[in-house]
């Protein structure tokens, strides 16, 4: 006998994946805030997941400090590297092309999840996606990321406000590793032999495409989030509205 949902069953979970390409860090965070605002005004069980890459920038989360960055004034200036202190979890992260940022906006109360359960589901999705690419890595919430033999492959950066999540994971696929190897991204108490970021290219010993990583993450996050439906989009209709006025003007000219 087939199962038929009753009127007492909760609505199904829908996951919307948006491929944004390369997006300015601040613009992407404005988009997340807008999505959080939109989510707060609805009653659906929709999860929005953004995939993008950022230009070079170092961010420092709640578990990080300036002492974890072994680049100094002249080095940072020569490489045009800015440091930004942010309110997410995790330590220091170097954002750069070749790193896949995965941002998740999820209404926890409507999904019936605690923040701890959401975090567990997110770890499960990212870890399983990497395992599917023959990466032998450990899911290490104590180290705030996914850890392989060569270092931290994916770094956590999650937080929630008013029951709606923001941030997510930063997965190093194939970036230039010169700068990340001078940054400690895992907290000292994690006890890792290598607390710096590595990448899937170094871990696997052979290349992997960004599209393949995205595809695996989509499949595994759909499962981890119990989504019964999912949609894939190129870009996001709200992205243009959160761009700075000067940038909108420049694009129009």
Does any domain span residue 154? yes
Does any domain span residue 239? yes
Confidence tier at 121 by pLDDT (50, 70, 90): very high
Range 6-33 average pLDDT: 88
Instruction: Please give the span between the terminal C-alpha atoms of the chain, in angstroms, as a whole number.
Output: 62
Range 6-28 average pLDDT: 86
Confidence (pLDDT) at 205: 92
Confidence tier at 2 by pLDDT (50, 70, 90): very low
Confidence tier at 7 by pLDDT (50, 70, 90): low
227 burial via Cβ count (<10 Å: 0-12, 13-18, 19+): buried
Task: Tell me what percent of the residues of the chain surpass a pLDDT of 70.
Answer: 92
pLDDT above 90 for 4: no
**Sequential DSSP letters for 15-75:** EEEEEEEE--HHHHHHHHHHHHHHHHT--S-EEEEEEEE--SEEEE-TT--GGGB---HHH
Does any domain span residue 249? no
Which tokens is 116 given?
Answer: 């701890």
Distance CA 241, CA 253 (A): 17
What length is written for the chain?
253
Confidence (pLDDT) at 188: 86
Q: What is the pLDDT of residues 62-112, one digit of tens each?
A: 999 999 999 888 888 888 899 999 999 999 999 999 999 999 999 999 999
Confidence (pLDDT) at 217: 98
Domain span holding position 99: 14-243
Instruction: Look up the CATH number of the domain holding residue 184.
Output: 3.30.930.10
Confidence tier at 171 by pLDDT (50, 70, 90): very high
Confidence tier at 251 by pLDDT (50, 70, 90): very low
Confidence (pLDDT) at 83: 94
18 φ/ψ sector (left φ>0, alpha ψ -120 to 50, else beta): beta
Does any domain span residue 192? yes
Note whether 141 and 76 are within 8 A (CB). Answer: no
What number of other Cβ atoms are within 10 A of residue 21's Cβ?
A: 10
- Rounded to two decimals, the pTM is 0.91
Q: What is the pLDDT of residues 142-164, one digit of tens each?
A: 999 999 999 999 999 999 999 99
Name the domain count of the chain: 1
- Closest by Cα among 166, 199, 181, 213 to 71: 181
pLDDT above 70 for 60: yes
Does any domain span residue 6? no
Does any domain span residue 5? no
Distance CA 170, CA 95 (A): 8
Q: What is the pLDDT of residues 225-236, one digit of tens each?
A: 999 999 999 999
Range 54-59 average pLDDT: 96
Confidence (pLDDT) at 252: 33
Confidence (pLDDT) at 56: 95
Does any domain span residue 183? yes
Range 128-132 average pLDDT: 97
Range 241-249 average pLDDT: 61
Does any domain span residue 9? no
The pLDDT mean for the chain works out to 90
């Amino acid at each position: 006998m087939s199962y038929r949902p009753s009127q007492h069953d909760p609505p199904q979970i829908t996951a919307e994946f948006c491929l944004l390409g390369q997006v300015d860090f601040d613009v992407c965070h404005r988009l997340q805030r807008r999505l959080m605002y939109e989510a707060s005004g609805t009653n659906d069980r929709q999860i929005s997941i953004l995939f993008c890459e950022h230009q070079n920038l170092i961010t420092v989360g709640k578990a990080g400090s300036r002492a974890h960055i072994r680049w100094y004034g002249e080095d940072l200036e020569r490489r045009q590297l800015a440091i930004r202190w942010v309110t997410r979890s995790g330590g220091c992260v170097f954002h750069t092309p070749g790193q896949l940022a995965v941002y998740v906006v999820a209404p926890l109360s409507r999904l019936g999840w605690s923040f701890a359960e959401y975090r567990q589901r997110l770890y499960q999705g990212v870890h399983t996606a990497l395992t599917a690419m023959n990466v032998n890595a450990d899911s290490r919430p104590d180290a705030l990321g996914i850890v392989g033999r060569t270092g931290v492959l994916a770094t956590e950066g999650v937080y929630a406000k008013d029951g709606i999540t923001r941030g997510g994971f930063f997965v190093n696929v194939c970036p230039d590793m010169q700068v990340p190897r001078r940054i400690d991204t895992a907290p000292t108490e994690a006890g890792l032999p290598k607390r710096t970021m590595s990448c899937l290219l170094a871990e696997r010993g052979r290349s992997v495409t960004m599209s393949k990583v995205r595809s695996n993450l989509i499949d595994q996050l759909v499962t981890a989030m119990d989504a019964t439906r999912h949609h894939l989009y190129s870009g996001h209709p709200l992205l243009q509205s959160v761009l700075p006025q000067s940038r909108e003007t420049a694009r129009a000219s």
